[in-house]
Structure 1
Amino acid sequence: MQVRVLGPVGVRLGEAGPVAPRGERPREVLAVLCIRRGRPTPAATILDLVWDDAAPMLDVGVVHTVVGRLRRQFGADLVHRTDAGYLLGSGAALDTDRFDELAGALRTAPAEDPLGRRERLCREALALWAGDTAYDGVREELVRPERVRLAELRRAVRMDLASGLLDAGARPESPGATAEALSLAQDLLAANPVDEDAAVLCMRAAYRLGRAGHALRVFDTLRRTLRAELGIDPGVAARKVHARILAQDATLDGVGHRDSPGGRRLPVPVSPTVGRERERSEVLGALRAGRRLVTVTGPAGVGKSRMLADVGAALPSGTPVAHVSVGAHTRQSAPDLAGALAVTSGVPLGGADAVAALVRSLRSRQLVVLVDEAEWAPEATATLASAVLGGAPMVQLVVASRVPLNVLGERLVELAPLPLPDPAGPVESLRSCAAVRLLLERLVDRGVAPDPDPTAWSAQELRAVAGAVVRLDGLPLAIELLAAAAGAEPGRELGDLLRVERPLELRSTDRGREERHESLRGALAWSVGRLDPDTRAVLARLSVFAGRFSAAAARGVVDYPPADVDRAVQHLAGQHLVGVERVCDRVYFRLLRTVRELAREELVGAGHEQSALLRHQAWFAGMWRDAPLSDGLVEHVGDHYDDYLEAMTGALGRGADDVAADIATTLCRRWLFIEASGPGQSWTGAVLERRGITAGQRARLQIAAAGFANHLDLSPEGHDRMVTALVADPDWTCLLLLMEAIAAYVAGDLSNASTRLAEAMRVSTAGAPHHLPELTATRAVVAAAAGDHELAVAGAHQALARVGESLSAVHQVTVIPKIALALLDAGRPAEALDLLERSCGQAHERFGIEPTPTTATNAGWAALALDRAEVAAGWFTRALVGPQAFEAPGAVGEAAAGLGAARAESDPAGAGELLELGLLLLEEAGQTLPRSLRDRIRSAASRLGPPATRTGWTPDLAVVRVRQLAARAGAGHAEAP
């Protein structure tokens, strides 16, 4: 889809604009979405912008109607709707995008271009215009800044083309180029009679064509117009060309046509900037592309003022630059700012209207204005910026502000905190982390450490530094304040110096540091203090979230009307008090730790902490209550894990046992899914000790606890008691029966396993059909163990058919390994390994999940059956080593025995010990392997000779030794796929 926004707003198909009943204004709505491309626009904002004075008499339904009509006319992908508002679809290719791209290419193309590339770029860019006015047919005040920006960029391209044609006209092969250059220059001069660059081109072209009188009349007209309009004379370049025309200078074509720009008045950082190369390039790139207003936004302490200074220093040599700080002006009105800018840019300012006078003075000047601390007076800054954008086409503004100016045509560059390292990650990643490097350099500056080179620091020191910057959210100001505090306490250990309990209390007493940067509390309190009471109250209540949260979660937890919560969250995001994150096309919000700490203080002070925490706990308890295992549940718990834990511990702390049990049950779903036995066993044990949980909750948690322990041994009475407690819960009844079937299978009681599976199939068919794929696969495993290979293969294929071609993450983890095990035991190891390898690849590509230890173990057995010992060793090692390794002794024993069998040829000594320890753990767990696996272990053991006799070995000690041997073996074999 090609949306035209240079000429008439519309779509390339027939050049027809949007059609709608009178009053709906689809052309204006589309224009707003085009200008704000990449930034969601709330329906209320569109209503205010497009309908202006009529907006109070309408509601946002009219916006929804117009958007719906646009989608029907031009396709559903034209406009998307997000939680934050409407967004132009990524598939809509704007003429403005292509025009900006071509104009940017012109800036980087070589000046000497014998092949005519510059001319081709110019002509292609200008051909995009369907008329002389961008956004033709759209109300002026709605699109003025963007219309002016595009017009000025078009002027620059036409100037470039005219200049190139004038140069080409000196060559015999381009006889008509000079005449075309003159025509272009005359058009430019007619559009803006004070355009000195166009006048110079016009004079040169006319003189070359033998029309010296015409060239002199151009200069005379320019001089009279400048005096009448601005009270000034033509500049140096025009006067030089005029003098050479009078002198009939034969070398006139060598005269340049631009004055040398003036000097700069810039702030200079007192220390080097670390880790902002990408953002600085983004700002400079926007300026090169002709953007007139670039606003660098971000939270307090993120380094906006420093970025402004760095951008100014990086501008091309000779660029005229002015700098003004809004926070330095107490009245903070638009006329005040106009006066300050006039002083710093050296232009005259006269008349009663300071803003209008400034615009007149800047009308024909080229200038980059750096505006710092605009959040102190955003309305006044926006007023002045809008006036300058509309009346001074060669002035560009770079603004540093905690909040956007919301001026049409504004390009926002988000300055986020520095990316956070993983303190437990590889040392090399810590050395390259910008936040770590910044703290290292500042500690060296303070004399706390001798060398800023990260390679000179030990791994322990780097991890301490990484932990500190994580606790400080990667905020550069906080990092600098910590370094200052560390420098004030010489002689202490580095770990003690970097221990940050209350980041808000960090202060600096450095001379020369601005007052607003002396503490994080002061920097943040200013932003919070400017909020209206309701928005401030919403922020306080949002402090109960430990991690990211959705708009729906905010509405569920904050006790304000949902629409008010949405407006408050959007406003807080715009003020950079709430961060915005995009995860798989979903929008989440998050509070920085420092903001959360300050907001929690307000919540406690207002006496609303307990009620907010209760709503937080209730939200996470009810989120997945009684819901079966699903991709959505696993993903949600992973995305909001810290909040689930905090809600559960909070509920336990206040004695709300039933609430804690619901949250624990949801957490258990994910822990079982990723085979995280450690936290699962610990927390289920803690909740099961509580008396206030119901019989059904207790039964669920006992089933989960048995899954973590990889052991379930219920007496008939215990079984009946569990079934009674779950009588109205077919989902967990199926899980109970499935777990009992697996326990019987592991113990070698295949008859009991088949009985339990038959009962589970009946319950699943009646009330929990989502369990049928896993139950079918498990029944195939039991059939294979019983020697009925034909039935096992048929069951495995039936289970595959039940899950379908598009596997869910749940099926990848719970069903596929069982299907593969059935195929393996039925004598089809190649089919089993192929299925597992394809499943692991799909799971990683589609869901970002790694193979579970169970999957890895089954893949190891399949590879071993195919005599691919090294591949098998890689899979078994993956099941034994790493963050998701097996913890249950029986599971560790099976993987250890498999690894021993795989390493029998390459490492007989280590393999023998692994086999011995694996069999010991299997015996301790009462676990019996299928016959095919026992035969494989027996064959390996016969080659290795009799094992050593071990006495006094506990299962825990055996597990530790297995992990040591597996880690050692892992260094010498090929990785599993």
Structure 2
Amino acid sequence: MLGPVQALVGGRIVDLGPARQRCVLAVLLVEANRWVSADLLLDRVWGERVPFSGRTPLYSYLSRLRRVVRATGEVDIVRRAGGYELVVDETAVDVHRFHHLVADARVATDGERAVVLFEHALSLWRGEPLADLDSPWVEEMRAELDRRRLAAELDHADLRLRLGRHAEALARLTALVATHPLDERLAAQYLLALYRSGRQADALDHYHHLRTRLADELGADPGPALRELHQRILAAEPALTTSVAEADRPAVVPRQLPAPPGLFTGRLAELAALDHTLTAAPDDQDPAASPPRHVDPVGGAAVMISAIGGAGGLGKTWLALAWAHRNLHRFPDGQLFVDLHGFSPTGSPVEPGDAVRGFLDALGVDPNRIPSEPASQAALYRSLIADKRMLIVLDNAATSDQVVPLLPGSPTCTVLVTGRTRLAALIDRHGARHLKLDVLTPAEARAVLAGRLDPDRTAAEAAAVEELVGLCGGHPLALSITARHVATHPDVPLAEVAAELRELGLEMLDHDTDPTASLPTVLSWSLRRLTDEQRTVFALLGITPGSDTTLPAVSALADLPPARARRVLSALVETSLLERRAHGRYVMHDLVRAYATTTARTLPGDTRDAALARVMDFHLHTASSADRLLDPHRQLVHPGAPTPGVHPHPLSDAASALAWLEAEHATLLAVQRAAATLGRHHLVWHLAWVLSTFHVRRGHRHDGLAAWRAALDAAAHLPEPATRTLAHRFLGRACSLLGLHEEAIGHLEQALALAVRHHDSAEQAHIHRTLEVAWERRGDDRRALDHARHALELYRTLDMPMGEADSLNAVGWLAARLGDYDTARDHCHAALVLHRCHRNSTGEADTLDSLGLIAHRTGDHQKALDHYGQALALYRSHDNTYLIANTLNHVGHPHVALGHQDQAREVWREALELYREQGRDTDAERVQRQLDHLDAAREPLGSPPNAAGDTQNG
């Protein structure tokens, strides 16, 4: 023992302060030489009664304990990344010494030596374990240690009976029977010891009492093995006499694990998760709903099934083997392993009965003793590993039905399952812990390549290494194939390998002769268990635009009802070909998607074309509905009827429309790019149109520019002249928003010329309105005002009240900037009346913003704040972050004029954040200067500047 660190089994932990402090030490000793998190210490020591002061008492106890144990010179408590580890020679801690001795006894080939080892182990017990400590974990540990002790006692008794030492065994068995009267294994040993001691009548009498008690207390009869022994005792069979031959036969300890992975790298989080599953009961387990998962005193978990799931080639088997070999000490009674061939070149999964028969052979069972019935073989298998600390690795499982017959009945065994499916029944019915395996992190991926390649080579071509990591996307098999390719071609530069991988993709990751070294082949095994419909949807997902998708989009893509599409997606998720993420989105790894794309080539061309037409129209028409909800007063341009069978996603209001556009924005841009590639010009143009409002409100200026450049190219192929005019107008606006003033004016003048040529007065008015904004942004307010007045005149002539209201506000805004406040006020009030009359809240907000400027410039700063406040409320109701940022910038100036420094700082900081999010660098720099001046207590900020970037609404 370790001086003041006294026995844990049968002894007390003395001279170590309060009980909680001694309990902390008990936990660390039980987990000796293993990292224990602070959270786990809190849970085990305090249970649900964690102190109000949190971890403070724990840290205090650990500090004191560290001083005490270090004084022994043989023990230390080391802090490691959020946890602690007690470093000690395990043979000096009685609980660990007990388990090592018992494990050695069970594998000893010399019966007499095994008896000595058992006796030495059992002699370590002195009283109740952890007698003066109390916590839920202590109670659980105490019960577990008692169970371990009984198991060792029974193994010891079995051994002495085989050696003919029944007289020695009888005395101890008599005491054990008194404390465990219903244990049938113990009862059998006791009957045999009595019989061999010449006490046949006592043996039969004890059996009679046991049978009566079982019936009274449990309503059950003795088991088959005990009933058979009773009959043999009644018949006084000679075979019941002692035979030492059986005792002399060496015990078989199976060691079936394949060799550990030679170059295993990373997966620290997953290894820790497997460790945690073994060392801690599930936090969410309801003790009333299922039996508690007891914890092994030396770190192994009781009744524990861990299922590692993930796509092909992610390294599930390697992870299982790496973890198993690192934890061999936890399973001294052996390890069983079987490849169930759920996904393999053979295409024939191993039958559970064949796996059981293989396990019986590994356990050394005489073939003549193996029953003929599969159920009896499984029962024998479970009996042989009962109370053994064994690991059973079931690799490459296809279904739960393959796994369940191989599960042990003993709570001392641990099962590790790998497979591409989630094995739902195993999780639901047997409490398996699912560990989802994903791709490697970039750091882990770099480590994989660094571990397999010449370090000088990787250091010299670091950029190429980064590109290889990116092209492989963290996929372990892809990285391994790439590393092999590099290593076997030492004269080829890494940059050249990267270029080849970039160009060839999956073709480079294929292998003609070794299917296990070919990523496409490994992935193809997952398709074998899919239906034709599921394989078709998988292939179509490879060609659908966007990096992820949703159920409604897949329903359109595959022309399936939503419920049926959901079942197909669930099947693909189940086989790890698809991943479901938050908010109902589904995503494929890039390499899996590339494989799906190659699979799609096997589909008929019309099937692919029809699917793409449906999914593209689904996105276009849903986006069109969203655009109408965002701005119902906007010029109506209908995209026409969708492809038959396409039903746009229903959107109820502007908020749901904005949320859908936010979620699908990247996909919508991908749809437009794909449509341009396929020559679907109508769709390219209309996607630019329906995204225009969203792009402006969210400040996606570069996306808006790209969308309208594509739309202008598409308009050249469309028969309607208006498409080209509108494309020039909106492309001009997009250029203006990005400060491309020459290009903006050029496109707008072309648009105006086209509108004049086609006698389109309404479009001329719209173009003048856009030219007003463009010239204002360019810094020429007077020229901008001319265009605003021209637009106002046209709108009035055409009786277009919404356009008239917008132009009235524009004239008022520009007049205010030029110092003509009476004109500005009159026009803005007229605009406000029209906007409110037609319930155009966006136009109302724009006008209130203008009135705020007028009030501020004329010295009525409080009224300015009132107007700006109303404008902000309306912009926020539409979540129009682009204009929210502008008005926040404006509202800071009257705050400064009124001496509200803190309020000005607050609104400008919010504006600055929004400008930065939207990539509006010029605006952000201006607001930052304003904040700097404010912080320096300067006072030149009473009026907003007439800077080119300080516009109202763009």
Aligned length: 673
**Offset at residue 346 of structure 1 (A):** 4.6
Aligned to 2:437: 415
**1:364-379 superposed matches below 5 A:** 364-375=387-398, 378-379=399-400
3-state DSSP of counterpart to 1:797:
helix
**Offset at residue 839 of structure 1 (A):** 6.3
Q: 1:185-213: CA deviations, max 9, x gaps?
A: 9997999999759999xx99998999589
**Are 2:894 and 1:798 equivalent residues in the alignment?**
no
Aligned to 2:563: 563
Within 1, Cα distance between the matches of 2:180 and 2:765?
108
Aligned to 1:129: none
**Offset at residue 565 of structure 1 (A):** 0.4
**1:354-393 superposed matches below 5 A:** 354-375=377-398, 378-385=399-406, 388-389=407-408, 391-393=409-411
Flag the 1:869–1:371 CA change in 2: closer, same or farther, 3 A: farther
**Offset at residue 780 of structure 1 (A):** 1.3
Within 2, Cα distance between the matches of 1:225 and 1:645?
80
Letter matched to residue 189 of structure 2: R
Aligned to 2:465: 465
Aligned to 1:859: 927
1:274 paired residue among 255, 265, 281: 265
Flag the 1:450–1:539 CA change in 2: closer, same or farther, 3 A: same
**Offset at residue 574 of structure 1 (A):** 1.0
1:768 paired residue among 827, 840, 861: 840
**Are 2:610 and 1:611 equivalent residues in the alignment?**
yes
**1:163-242 superposed matches below 5 A:** 167-169=126-128, 221-223=187-189
**1:918-957 superposed matches below 5 A:** none
**Are 2:456 and 1:450 equivalent residues in the alignment?**
yes
2:370 paired residue among 332, 345, 350: 350
2:447 paired residue among 433, 437, 451: 437
3-state DSSP of counterpart to 2:264:
coil
3-state DSSP of counterpart to 1:662:
helix
Letter matched to residue 624 of structure 1: A
3-state DSSP of counterpart to 2:581:
strand
Within 1, Cα distance between the matches of 2:833 and 2:827?
10
Instruction: State the superposition RMSD in angstroms.
Output: 5.6
Within 2, Cα distance between the matches of 1:757 and 1:780?
10
Within 2, Cα distance between the matches of 1:871 and 1:484?
67
**Offset at residue 490 of structure 1 (A):** 3.5
Aligned to 1:404: 422
Q: 1:690-718: CA deviations, max 9, x gaps?
A: 15365696566654454344768788986
Letter matched to residue 341 of structure 1: F
Is residue 549–residue 588 contact of structure 1 (8 Å, CA) maintained in 2?
A: yes
Letter matched to residue 324 of structure 1: V
2:594 paired residue among 594, 597, 606: 597
Within 1, Cα distance between the matches of 2:815 and 2:392?
77
**Offset at residue 857 of structure 1 (A):** 3.8
**1:42-61 superposed matches below 5 A:** none
Is residue 254–residue 362 contact of structure 2 (8 Å, CA) maintained in 1?
A: no
Flag the 1:362–1:757 CA change in 2: closer, same or farther, 3 A: farther
Aligned to 1:886: none
**Offset at residue 173 of structure 1 (A):** 9.0
Letter matched to residue 541 of structure 2: L
Within 2, Cα distance between the matches of 1:754 and 1:204?
111
Aligned to 2:577: 577
**Offset at residue 737 of structure 1 (A):** 7.6
Aligned to 2:585: 588
3-state DSSP of counterpart to 2:585:
strand
Within 2, Cα distance between the matches of 1:344 and 1:872?
88
Aligned to 1:308: 320
Is residue 696–residue 882 contact of structure 2 (8 Å, CA) maintained in 1?
A: no
**Offset at residue 753 of structure 1 (A):** 6.5
Flag the 1:549–1:756 CA change in 2: closer, same or farther, 3 A: farther
Is residue 912–residue 924 contact of structure 2 (8 Å, CA) maintained in 1?
A: no
**Are 2:737 and 1:707 equivalent residues in the alignment?**
yes
Is residue 307–residue 433 contact of structure 2 (8 Å, CA) maintained in 1?
A: yes
3-state DSSP of counterpart to 2:354:
helix
**Offset at residue 309 of structure 1 (A):** 0.8
Is residue 263–residue 321 contact of structure 1 (8 Å, CA) maintained in 2?
A: yes
1:819 paired residue among 861, 878, 891: 891
**Are 2:505 and 1:503 equivalent residues in the alignment?**
yes
**Offset at residue 415 of structure 1 (A):** 0.4
**Are 2:630 and 1:628 equivalent residues in the alignment?**
yes
Is residue 418–residue 476 contact of structure 1 (8 Å, CA) maintained in 2?
A: yes
Within 2, Cα distance between the matches of 1:313 and 1:928?
66
Is residue 418–residue 434 contact of structure 1 (8 Å, CA) maintained in 2?
A: yes
Letter matched to residue 588 of structure 1: R
Flag the 1:434–1:535 CA change in 2: closer, same or farther, 3 A: same
1:395 paired residue among 370, 394, 413: 413
Within 2, Cα distance between the matches of 1:198 and 1:740?
103
1:720 paired residue among 765, 777, 801: 765
Flag the 1:515–1:707 CA change in 2: closer, same or farther, 3 A: same
3-state DSSP of counterpart to 1:549:
strand
Is residue 923–residue 950 contact of structure 2 (8 Å, CA) maintained in 1?
A: no
Q: 1:797-820: CA deviations, max 9, x gaps?
A: 333455679988567545433433
Flag the 1:324–1:834 CA change in 2: closer, same or farther, 3 A: same
Within 1, Cα distance between the matches of 2:589 and 2:309?
16
**Are 2:722 and 1:683 equivalent residues in the alignment?**
no
Is residue 320–residue 416 contact of structure 2 (8 Å, CA) maintained in 1?
A: yes
**Are 2:551 and 1:551 equivalent residues in the alignment?**
yes
Q: Which stretch has the larger CA shift, 758-767 or 292-301?
A: 758-767
Within 2, Cα distance between the matches of 1:172 and 1:308?
38
Letter matched to residue 931 of structure 2: A
3-state DSSP of counterpart to 2:255:
coil
Aligned to 1:317: 329
Letter matched to residue 561 of structure 2: P
Q: 1:299-354: CA deviations, max 9, x gaps?
A: 11111011011110121525132222112885621101212333345556711223
Q: 1:486-528: CA deviations, max 9, x gaps?
A: 3343333322211223332234779xxx944311110111112
Is residue 505–residue 519 contact of structure 1 (8 Å, CA) maintained in 2?
A: no
**Offset at residue 657 of structure 1 (A):** 3.6
3-state DSSP of counterpart to 2:549:
coil
**1:262-301 superposed matches below 5 A:** 262=253, 264-289=255-280, 290=301, 292-301=304-313
**Offset at residue 564 of structure 1 (A):** 0.9
**1:235-250 superposed matches below 5 A:** none
Is residue 173–residue 190 contact of structure 2 (8 Å, CA) maintained in 1?
A: no
Q: Which stretch has the larger CA shift, 586-595 or 747-756?
A: 747-756
**TM-score between both structures, scaled by the size of structure 2:** 0.59
Within 2, Cα distance between the matches of 1:551 and 1:305?
32
Letter matched to residue 351 of structure 1: P
**Offset at residue 610 of structure 1 (A):** 1.4
Letter matched to residue 927 of structure 2: A
Is residue 304–residue 415 contact of structure 1 (8 Å, CA) maintained in 2?
A: yes
**TM-score between both structures, scaled by the size of structure 1:** 0.58
**Offset at residue 479 of structure 1 (A):** 1.1
3-state DSSP of counterpart to 2:329:
coil
Letter matched to residue 705 of structure 2: Q
3-state DSSP of counterpart to 2:584:
strand
Is residue 730–residue 763 contact of structure 1 (8 Å, CA) maintained in 2?
A: yes
Within 2, Cα distance between the matches of 1:185 and 1:488?
54
Letter matched to residue 707 of structure 1: L
Flag the 1:495–1:275 CA change in 2: closer, same or farther, 3 A: same
Q: 1:32-64: CA deviations, max 9, x gaps?
A: xxxxxxxxxxxxxxxxxxxxxxxxxxxxxxxxx
Is residue 307–residue 417 contact of structure 2 (8 Å, CA) maintained in 1?
A: yes
Within 2, Cα distance between the matches of 1:299 and 1:631?
37
Flag the 1:331–1:474 CA change in 2: closer, same or farther, 3 A: closer
Q: 1:911-959: CA deviations, max 9, x gaps?
A: xxxxxxxx9xx7xx7x7999xxxxxxxxxxxxxxxxxxxxxxxxxxxxx
Structure of larger gyration radius: 2
Aligned to 1:672: 696
2:685 paired residue among 642, 649, 661: 661
Flag the 1:411–1:104 CA change in 2: closer, same or farther, 3 A: farther
Within 2, Cα distance between the matches of 1:443 and 1:870?
61
